[in-house]
Amino acid sequence: MNYILASASPRRKELLGMFIRDFTVIPANSDETFNLSEPVENELMRVTELKAFSVAENNHNAVIIAADTIVLKDGIVYGKPRDENDAFNTLRNLKGGVHKVMTGVCVISPSVCFKFIDETSVTFRDYDDGIIRWYLLTGEPFDRAGAYAIQGYGCMLVSKIDGDYYNVMGLPVARLMYELNKADLFHFC
């Protein structure tokens, strides 16, 4: 099978590569802007589907895998920070509380199309502004939903997770591989 990951994320590439050795990366060329007046789950799926269909239109015989990840706390969506100040404020708003990491996944193949949202709850420590400034200096918070990377220095911000660790990285691989297998698009044996 010809698999295509519709994402420029090096983390998603690494995670998908744990199970599928041979795939192509074609970053989606679609608008990722959320309409904040719509329900978060609907917008997350809309953006994810746009990514998948933008790559599928020129790759009709492939299995297209697209994903989009957001962080949600108190009704506020935290995507990738725009700049250092935005990252600082995001990390300040997330500290000492619980937030959700939600990843929408859309798979399109010649025979089937399916989609789902995976959700993980993450509890952050009650760190101070000095920790935030130090973390910003690592450069890690940028280009990541919620301004942190759980698999890197950002692990020190986390006190607990409930759900799929890999979902927090940007791709819920266990559920994805189960769903691909169920749709006869991937076989474990």
* DSSP string across 74-97: TTEEE-S-SSHHHHHHHHHHHTTS
31 carries an active-site annotation: no
Contact 23, 5 (CB under 8 A): yes
**Active-site residue, from 68, 83, 118, 164:** 68
Token match 């940028």: residue?
142
**Which phi-psi region, left, alpha or beta, contains residue 159 (left: φ > 0; alpha: ψ -120 to 50)?**
alpha
Round to whole Å and give the CA distance between 5 and 139. Answer: 25
The two three-digit tokens of residue 158, written as one number: 């986390």
Contact 171, 109 (CB under 8 A): no
Residues marked active site are found at 68
